[in-house]
Amino acid sequence: MNVARIKEIISYYDRRINRLNNRLAEEDNIVMQIRLRWAIRNCQRTRSKYFLLADEPFTNPLHYNLLMNIQKSDNMTMQQDEDDWITVSGTHILLGEEGTVKGGPPNLRGKQFSHAKSQKRPSKKKVHTKPEPPTPEAVAKAESRYKERYLRDERHMDLKKQTLQEIKDGSDDKLKAKLAKKFGAKKAEVAEAIENGTLNELIDKYTEKGLEKALRNTKDAMELQRDEIATKFGRSKRDEEDTEEAIQVLGKNCISMREYDELRQEDLELLTPDDYALQRAYATERYGMRAETLNKKMYTGEGVLTDTEKDFVEMVDRTSVPLKRDVALYRGVGSSYLQSITGVSMDDPDFFKKLDEKVGTTVKHEAVTSTGIGVPGYFDTSTKIVCHIKAPSGTRVCAIQNFQEGEILIPAGTKMRLTGYSQEGVYGVWAPGNLSSDRSRKLTVSDRKKFILEMEVVEDE
């Protein structure tokens, strides 16, 4: 974004802020005053971001004054949230200590309504609490679901990605023999079944044993994840130091290694074996599930979700935990995503003009949103756009067991506001380099020429 364009945007917000301040000075209705102050603060916040693209922004006295105005606006809003109000002849009156009128018609200011009952409504902001771990009964039911799903949907990666039923219905005795051995049949039994043409019967005989083995392997994998988090396996002291250095550049809202470990640990405490298998299926395209297909169905409403896809979406919502502080999340996307949330094509000659009009709009994300500590290394080379998402404290997230990508999911139905954009800038990248190894996972800084969307998660009204 060139300097001339930055000045045009700052000038636009200057004019808008002045108009809102003039309206505020003439407004007596306390509700409208609150709304106008919120609008002014949002304009000031958006305007301030463009100073970060200008030369020497922190030495500019205008930038300093702007930050002071934002802080003052925040303090005023916080004070209003603490005050009470009543209605007199249809007019909202703001009350301070001992019922003294603080805002409203000039003829009432200074008077007291000490015996009046406040009409201030409780805050509508949702308070999310951490879900409870599954009960033994819930775990038992989940293990039954796991077996049912394994029988129905598991694509055996070592057997041409076919399901158990597809292998049995086929005519390839070699695949059937491999499946029988995988489930625990002995070589002599397999040889006899091949000779007698009873491989399907042999598979049926050992199916339950195979299911128990698969379930046991999944439980072992969960324990391995717990051990990995506890011992920080798969990372070095240098990786942690590099991540901390990146945070110094990208800002304190980035997630540290320690915080990521805590989020993954919280997630593991809430998972059943079936939940864990669903997470791994999402990350590795098992059970016939692909993230792109699932998201397309949910965004467009076209196509019916499979039972496994429905269970995955429900699992993300059920096991999501509230963030303890404001954090920054990253997401690499293509131009089609930008068009889907704004209705503006990057090929449009008036792209920037139309996109400016969309700044400040809120969009409900119908699908599960995949984000992360940083953009995964391979997405960084294959996507044109980076979403920098501010997730405020209390935002519900699910840090699925996908350490390779540092993946953090946001439940379906979450609303996000477009707060700004830039044509270049720095952003976080997770695990660049050798992706075949689990021993190099860290946050680094990238300054590739990417289009950056600034977004923030917002609460339901």
Q: What is the 3-state secondary structure (H, E, C) of the chain?
A: CCHHHHHHHHHHHHHHHHHHHHHHHHCCCHHHHHHHHHHHHHHHHHHHHHHCCCCCHHHCHHHHHHHHHHHHHHHHHHHHHHCEEEEECCEEEEECHHHEEEECCHHHCCCECCCCCCCCCCCCCCCCCCCCCCCHHHHHHHHHHHHHHHHHHCCECCCCCECHHHHHHCCCHHHHHHHHHHCCCCHHHHHHHHHHCCHHHHHHHHHHHHHHHHHHHHHHHHHHHHHHHHHCCCCCHHHHHHHHHHHHHHCCCCCCHHHHHHHHHHHHHCCCHHHHHHHHHHHHCCCCCCHHHHHHHHHHCCCCCCHHHHHHHHHHHHHCEECCCCEEEEEEECHHHHHHHHCCCCCCCCHHHHHHHHCCCEEEECCCEEEECCEEHHHHHHCCEEEEEEECCCCEEECCCCCCCCEEEECCCEEEEEEEEECCCCEEEECCCCCCCCCCCCEEEECCCCEEEEEEEECCC
Q: Which range has the worst mean pLDDT, 27-41, 62-76, 186-200, 361-375?
A: 62-76
Q: What is the pLDDT of residues 154-197, one digit of tens each?
A: 998 788 889 999 999 999 999 999 999 999 999 999 999 999 99
C-alpha 142: how far from chain center: 25
Q: What is the pLDDT of residues 293-306, one digit of tens each?
A: 998 899 888 889 99
**pLDDT value of residue 115:** 59
Same-domain pairing of 257 and 160: no
**What is the percent of the chain where pLDDT is above 90?**
51
Q: What is the pLDDT of residues 204-223, one digit of tens each?
A: 999 999 999 999 999 999 99
Q: What is the pLDDT of residues 227-248, one digit of tens each?
A: 888 877 656 777 888 888 999 8
Please give the tally of structural domains in the chain.
3
Same-domain pairing of 213 and 249: no
Q: Is there a contact between 371 and 329 (Cβ–Cβ < 8 Å)?
A: yes
Q: What are 5's two structure tokens?
A: 């364009």
**pLDDT value of residue 62:** 45
Q: Which domain holds residue 181?
A: 154-220
Same-domain pairing of 437 and 355: yes
Does the residue 181 lie in any domain? Answer: yes
**pLDDT value of residue 49:** 67
pLDDT at 73 over 50: no
Same-domain pairing of 404 and 357: yes
Does the residue 283 lie in any domain? Answer: yes
Same-domain pairing of 256 and 213: no
Q: Is there a contact between 334 and 383 (Cβ–Cβ < 8 Å)?
A: yes
Does the residue 446 lie in any domain? Answer: yes
Q: Which range has the worst mean pLDDT, 7-11, 60-64, 282-286, 438-442?
A: 60-64
More confident residue, 327 or 226: 327
**pLDDT value of residue 432:** 55
Does the residue 379 lie in any domain? Answer: yes
| Residues 6+ positions from 215 with CB-CB distance below 8 Å | 143, 146, 147, 150, 273
Same-domain pairing of 273 and 194: no
Does the residue 108 lie in any domain? Answer: no
Which residue in 318, 324, 289, 338 sits closest to 394, CA to CA? 324
Same-domain pairing of 322 and 195: no
Does the residue 337 lie in any domain? Answer: yes
Same-domain pairing of 247 and 190: no
Same-domain pairing of 192 and 239: no
Does the residue 166 lie in any domain? Answer: yes
pLDDT at 461 over 60: no
Same-domain pairing of 190 and 245: no
- The mean pLDDT of the chain is 82
pLDDT at 105 over 80: no
> What's the CATH number where 340 sits?
3.90.176.10
Amino acid type, 264: R
| Residues 6+ positions from 294 with CB-CB distance below 8 Å | 282, 305, 309, 312, 313, 367, 368
Q: What is the pLDDT of residues 254-283, one digit of tens each?
A: 999 889 989 999 999 999 999 999 999 999
Does the residue 110 lie in any domain? Answer: no
Same-domain pairing of 279 and 192: no
Same-domain pairing of 256 and 165: no
